[in-house]
Amino acid sequence: MTTRTDAPTRREQILKEAARLFAERGFHGVGVDEIGAAVGISGPGLYRHFAGKDAMLAELLVGISGQLLTGAKRRLAEADGGAGPGGPEAVLDSLIEGHIDFALDDRPLITLHDRELDRLRDSDRKLVRQLQRQYVELWVGVVREVHPELAEPAARSAVHSVFGLLNSTPHLGRAGSLPGRGATAELLHRMARGAFAAASSPAAG
């Protein structure tokens, strides 16, 4: 994710450009030489950092799943430890904000996940799914604190639906065509909270 403020390492630069190129042209439509050119090194020079394109893809998809889970756990810990405003409502808002940051700042990774997850070897794909399940269950727990009337299966369905909403950002058009990052983030946040509220309303049951 893009929360760090220090300069990216060469390895991180390679991954960022690989994600962009894979999302734009597909995994098989991009060569190692093109990725190298995007970061100013020779294609063979990439092999000092990665064994190949498959390794880049695995690190991108496993990495972002792990980062989302770690970030969500940190937000929960901060709330429990008094480092931020407490209460389930505030925690849910914080989780939504964190996922929106990902959805707006790492849009190529959403496209990459949708298109290329099946290209991972079985062990990496299973790890991605495991991390994602943990991330979902963390959200489910918080959502049920905010909306205790929601049964666990309904809360889980609502969480998946909100992820679908927030992860729609690659389909919103180019960044320059959006109303601005702040306004887009605010809109997505309102829609996410509205979706949870709708799921918990009597009519939804």
Structural domain range at position 153: 52-204
In a domain, 118, yes or no: yes
| Interatomic CA distance for residues 28 and 54, integer angstroms | 10
pLDDT tens, 39-70? 999 878 888 999 999 999 999 999 999 999 99
What is the pLDDT, as a whole number, of residue 112?
A: 95
Q: CA-CA distance, 42 to 143, in Å (whole number)? A: 48
88-128 pLDDT tens trace: 999 999 999 999 999 999 999 999 999 999 999 999 999 99
**Interval 171-199: pLDDT, tens:** 876 655 567 889 999 999 999 999 999 99
- Please report, for the domain that includes residue 107, its CATH number: 1.10.357.10
Please count the structural domains in the chain: 1
Rg for the chain (alpha carbons), in Å? 18
- Give residue-wise pLDDT tens across range 138-172: 999 999 999 999 999 999 999 999 999 999 998 87
User: Cα(66)–Cα(1) distance, rounded to whole angstroms?
Assistant: 10
Residue 32 lies inside a defined structural domain of this protein: no
Q: What is the DSSP string of 33-96?
A: HHHHHHHTS-TGGGGGT-SSHHHHHHHHHHHHHHHHHHHHHHHHHHHHTTSS--SHHHHHHHHH
pLDDT of residue 3: 46
**In this structure, are residues 64 and 1 in contact, taking their beta carbons and an 8 Å threshold?**
yes
Residue 20 lies in a domain: no
Residue 65 placed within a domain: yes
Is residue 38 a part of any domain in this protein? no
pLDDT at res. 43:
76
Note whether residue 200 is domain-resident. Answer: yes
Does 37 map to a domain?
A: no
Specify the pLDDT at position 81: 61
The arithmetic mean of pLDDT across residues 80-91, rounded, is: 74
pLDDT band at 1 (very low <50, low <70, confident <90, very high): very low
What average pLDDT does the chain have?
90
Q: Within a domain: residue 151?
A: yes
pLDDT confidence of residue 45: 85
